[in-house]
Amino acid sequence: MELRTPYLIFLGDAPDQLAAKTAAGVAHWRREHCIGQLRLPGCCADLGLPELTIDEAAAQGARTVLVGIANRGGTIAESWEAPLARALDLGLDLAGGLHQRLAEVPRLAALAARNGRRISDVRHPDRDFPIATGQRRRGRRLLTVGTDCSVGKMYTALAIEDEMRRRGMNAAFRATGQTGIMIAGGGVSVDAVIADFIAGAAEFLTPESDDGHWDIVEGQGSLFHPSYAGVSLGLLHGAQPEAIVLCHEPTRPHMRGLPGRELPTLADCLEANLAAGRVTSPEIRCAGISINTAGLSTSVAESLLSQTADAFGLPCVDPVRSGVAAIVDRL
C-alpha cells in the first residue's frame, strides 16, 4: 500500500481536535507532504494548514486526499461524498483510515474505477502475505515495544527515524497502524491481517537490506495486553529486530480498555520481549526506554527518567521533552 504525495488533508466535520488525531500526525511528521486542509461546515479541528478546496488542491498538484479523521463509529458521513467524488473526478486518489471503507461507498468506488484512481483504506490490507520463515536476513532493524497500547510506540519510532536522518544515517520508518501508514505513505496494518500471517506481514514490511540501513518499525499493542498480545508477538518475531525500545506511559491507571488490569512492570515487560525476540533474533538487545511524561511536572519527569536510566543501565528519554538522541547514540 503506497500513497502518492503531496496530500490534501480532509478534516470533514470533525467535532474536535482529537477526532483529527491521524491527520494531526501526518501534519506533524510529514508537513512537507501536506499542501492544505479542507474543512466542511461544523469542523472544529484545525491543523493550521492552508485552507483549500478540492479544485484548488488539484490545481496546486495534490495527488491524494487523506481522510485522516475518526467519525463516531468509524463511518463515512454523507456530506463527505460530494467533495471526495470531486477529488476522484479531478484525478486525485483517496486514502482513508476509518473502519468503514471508502472503497465500499458505491459512488466513490464507481468513480475511482471510471477514472483509474486508487482508493486506499489503510486499516485493511490490500494484499496477501506469505507465511513467515524466521530466516535471518541482513539489514538493521529496531522495533518499539510497549507496556500497553497507545504509550508512544509510533511517536518514538518516528522520532528515532528523524534523529537518525538528521545525522545522515539511512533510516526508514515502517508503519504497522493506520496513522503510521498515512504518515509513512505506506505500510501494513498488522492487526488486520489473518492471524496465520502476522509474522509474515512483518517480514514483508521489513525486507532484507544492507548493513548500512535501519528499519525503524512501529510496534503494536503489548505482550501483556490480553486482547492484542498475539499481534505484538507475531510482529516481534517477524520484524526480527536487533534492538527494541521499550515505551511506557507512567500515569495510566490500568491497561487500555481494561479497568482493574495493572500494567506490567518495565522489568517484566523488557524481559518478556527479549526472551520472545530471541526466537528469531538471538542477539536482540534493548537500546533504551521511552517514557511519555506529558502528565508529569518537569521535576518529576526528570527524576523518573534519570532513575529509570540508572535502574536499567539504559538511555531513558521522553521523545518530546528530551529527544531520542541518547538512544540513537547507542545504536
Among 3, 27, 183, 233, binds a copy of itself (CB under 8 A): 233
Q: Does 266 bind a copy of itself (CB under 8 A)?
A: no
Among 50, 74, 207, 226, binds a copy of itself (CB under 8 A): 226
Give the interface segment with a copy of itself, choosing from 76-84, 93-101, 256-264, 307-315 (CB under 8 A).
256-264
Sign of CA dihedral 278, 279, 280, 282: positive
| φ and ψ of 318, to 5 deg | -115, 120
Name which of 114 and 278 has its Cβ closer to a copy of itself. 278
- Residue 279 · residue 134 · CB < 8 Å: yes
| φ and ψ of 128, to 5 deg | -90, 160
Among 52, 231, 287, 289, binds a copy of itself (CB under 8 A): 231
Radius of gyration in angstroms for the set of CA atoms belonging to the chain, rounded to a whole number:
20
Q: Does 234 bind a copy of itself (CB under 8 A)?
A: yes
Quote the least distance from Cβ 292 to a copy of itself, whole Å: 22
Element (H or E) spanning 307, and its range? helix 298-312
Quote the least distance from Cβ 280 to a copy of itself, whole Å: 5
Q: Does 105 bind a copy of itself (CB under 8 A)?
A: no
Secondary structure class of 319 (helix, strand, coil): coil
DSSP alpha helix (H) spans, 30-152 = 54-59, 81-89, 106-115
Name the nearest CA neighbour of 8 among 29, 31, 37, 30.
Answer: 37
Among 92, 158, 266, 272, binds a copy of itself (CB under 8 A): 272
Q: Does 274 bind a copy of itself (CB under 8 A)?
A: no
Sign of CA dihedral 155, 159, 160, 161: positive
Binding-site residue total for a copy of itself (CB under 8 A)? Answer: 37
Q: Does 155 bind a copy of itself (CB under 8 A)?
A: no
Q: Does 204 bind a copy of itself (CB under 8 A)?
A: no
Q: Which amino acid is at 270?
A: L
Name which of 33 and 237 has its Cβ closer to a copy of itself. 237
255/195 Cα distance (integer angstroms): 23
Quote the least distance from Cβ 236 to a copy of itself, whole Å: 9
Give the interface segment with a copy of itself, choosing from 24-32, 80-88, 132-140, 151-159 (CB under 8 A).
132-140
Q: Does 195 bind a copy of itself (CB under 8 A)?
A: yes
Q: Does 74 bind a copy of itself (CB under 8 A)?
A: no
Q: Does 200 bind a copy of itself (CB under 8 A)?
A: yes
Element (H or E) spanning 159, and its range? helix 153-166
Q: Does 276 bind a copy of itself (CB under 8 A)?
A: yes
- Residue 156 · residue 290 · CB < 8 Å: yes
Per-residue cell: 266: 518495565
Q: Does 213 bind a copy of itself (CB under 8 A)?
A: no
With 0-12 / 13-18 / 19 or more C-beta atoms within 10 angstroms meaning exposed / middle / buried, residue 109 is middle
Residues that bind a copy of itself (CB under 8 A): 131-135, 190-196, 198-200, 223-224, 226-235, 237-238, 257-258, 261, 272, 275-276, 279-280
